[in-house]
Chain A
Amino acid sequence: MDGLPSEEEQEMTTETATVDVDVTVPDPQTASHSKELDSNFQTVGEVRVANARMTCTDVNVYYGDKHAIKHCNLDIGENQVIAMIGPSGCGKSTFLRCLNRMNDTIDICRVTGEIKLDQQDIYDKRLDVVPLRAQVGMVFQKPNPFPKSIYDNIAYGPRIHGLASSRAELDEIVERSLSKAGLWNEVKDRLDQPGNGLSGGQQQRLCIARTIAVEPEVILMDEPCSALDPIATAKVEELIDELRQNYTIAIVTHSMQQAARVSQRTAYFHLGSLVEVGETTQVFTNPQHKLTEDYITGRFG
Chain B
Amino acid sequence: MQLSVLVFVLLGVMALAYHLGRRRSLATVGGRVGARSLHSLPSYYGFYTALWAGLPALLIAGLWVFFEGSIINSMVVQGLPSELRELPPAQLGLLMNDVNNLASGNIVSGEVDATMQRAADHLNELRSIGSTALAIAVLSIALGTASLAWRAIGPKMRARNRVEVIVSSLLVVSSLIAILTTVGIVLSVLFESFRFFQKVPVTDFLFGLEWSPQVALRADQVGASGAFGAIPLFAGTLLISFIALLVAVPVGLMSAIYLADYAGPKLRSNAKPVLEVLAGVPTVVYGFFAALTLAPAIRGVGESVGLSVSSESALAAGLVMGIMIIPFVSSLSDDVINAVPQSLRDAAYALGATRSETIRQVVLPAALPGIMGGILLAASRAIGETMIVVMAAGLSANLTANPLDSVTTVTVQIVTLLVGDQEFDSAKTLAAFALGLLLFVVTLGLNIVALHIVRKYREQYE
CB < 8 Å neighbour of A160 from B265, B352, B366:
B352
Which of the candidate stretches A144-152, A223-231, A286-294 sits at the interface with the other chain?
A: A144-152
Q: Which of A132, A138, A160, A161 has the most CB of B within 10 A?
A: A160
| Chain B minimum-CB-distance residue to A210 | B351
Q: Are A140 and B343 in contact (CB under 8 A)?
A: yes
Alpha-carbon distance between A248 and B152 when the two chains are bound, in angstroms: 79
Q: Are A148 and B347 in contact (CB under 8 A)?
A: no
**What residues of A have a CB within 8 angstroms of the CB of B350 in the complex?**
100, 102, 133, 137-138, 140, 211
Alpha-carbon distance between A107 and B268 when the two chains are bound, in angstroms: 13
A34 to chain B, nearest CB (A): 37
Q: Which of A105, A140, A148, A214 has the most CB of B within 10 A?
A: A105
Confirm or deny: A181 has a beta carbon within 8 angstroms of a beta carbon on chain B: no
Alpha-carbon distance between A283 and B357 when the two chains are bound, in angstroms: 43
**What residues of B have a CB within 8 angstroms of the CB of A102 in the complex?**
346, 349-350
- Within 336-373 of B, Cβ neighbours of A (below 8 Å) are at 341-354, 357, 361-362, 365-366
Q: Which of A102, A133, A140 has the most CB of B within 10 A?
A: A133
**What residues of B have a CB within 8 angstroms of the CB of A211 in the complex?**
350-351
**What residues of B have a CB within 8 angstroms of the CB of A210 in the complex?**
347, 351
A207 to chain B, nearest CB (A): 7
Alpha-carbon distance between A115 and B372 when the two chains are bound, in angstroms: 44
**What residues of B have a CB within 8 angstroms of the CB of A176 in the complex?**
none
**What residues of A have a CB within 8 angstroms of the CB of B346 in the complex?**
102, 105, 138, 140, 144
Confirm or deny: A84 has a beta carbon within 8 angstroms of a beta carbon on chain B: no
- Within 98-143 of A, Cβ neighbours of B (below 8 Å) are at 100, 102, 105, 107, 129-134, 137-138, 140, 142
Confirm or deny: A157 has a beta carbon within 8 angstroms of a beta carbon on chain B: yes
Q: Are A140 and B347 in contact (CB under 8 A)?
A: yes
Number of residues on chain A facing chain B (CB within 8 A): 27
Alpha-carbon distance between A142 and B357 when the two chains are bound, in angstroms: 22
CB < 8 Å neighbour of A105 from B349, B352, B361, B460:
B349
Q: Are B347 and A133 in contact (CB under 8 A)?
A: no
**What residues of A have a CB within 8 angstroms of the CB of B365 in the complex?**
147-148
Contact A134-B366, Cβ < 8 Å, known A144-B346, A160-B357: no
Alpha-carbon distance between A140 and B341 when the two chains are bound, in angstroms: 13
| Chain A minimum-CB-distance residue to B366 | A147
Alpha-carbon distance between A43 and B353 when the two chains are bound, in angstroms: 35
Confirm or deny: A156 has a beta carbon within 8 angstroms of a beta carbon on chain B: yes
**What residues of A have a CB within 8 angstroms of the CB of B460 in the complex?**
147
Contact A107-B354, Cβ < 8 Å, known A133-B349, A146-B347: no
Contact A144-B344, Cβ < 8 Å, known A107-B264, A156-B361, A160-B357: yes
Proximity bits, A148-182, B CB within 8 Å = 1, else 0? 10000000110011000000000000000000000
A301 to chain B, nearest CB (A): 31
**What residues of B have a CB within 8 angstroms of the CB of A107 in the complex?**
264-265
A147 to chain B, nearest CB (A): 5
Give B residues with C-beta under 8 Å from A. Answer: 264-265, 341-354, 357, 361-362, 365-366, 460
Give A residues with C-beta under 8 Å from B. Answer: 100, 102, 105, 107, 129-134, 137-138, 140, 142, 144-148, 156-157, 160-161, 207, 210-211, 214
21 contacts between A and B (CB under 8 A): A100-B350, A107-B264, A107-B265, A130-B353, A131-B352, A133-B349, A137-B350, A137-B351, A140-B347, A140-B350, A142-B343, A144-B341, A147-B344, A156-B353, A156-B361, A160-B351, A160-B357, A160-B361, A210-B347, A211-B350, A211-B351
In the complex, besides A105-B349, A144-B344, 20 extra interface pairs with C-beta distance below 8 angstroms are A105-B342, A132-B352, A133-B349, A133-B352, A134-B351, A137-B351, A138-B346, A140-B346, A140-B350, A142-B343, A146-B347, A147-B344, A147-B365, A156-B348, A156-B351, A156-B353, A156-B361, A157-B351, A160-B352, A160-B353
Going nearest first, the 7 A-B pairs with the smallest beta carbon separation are: A134-B352, A138-B350, A144-B343, A133-B352, A157-B351, A144-B347, A130-B352
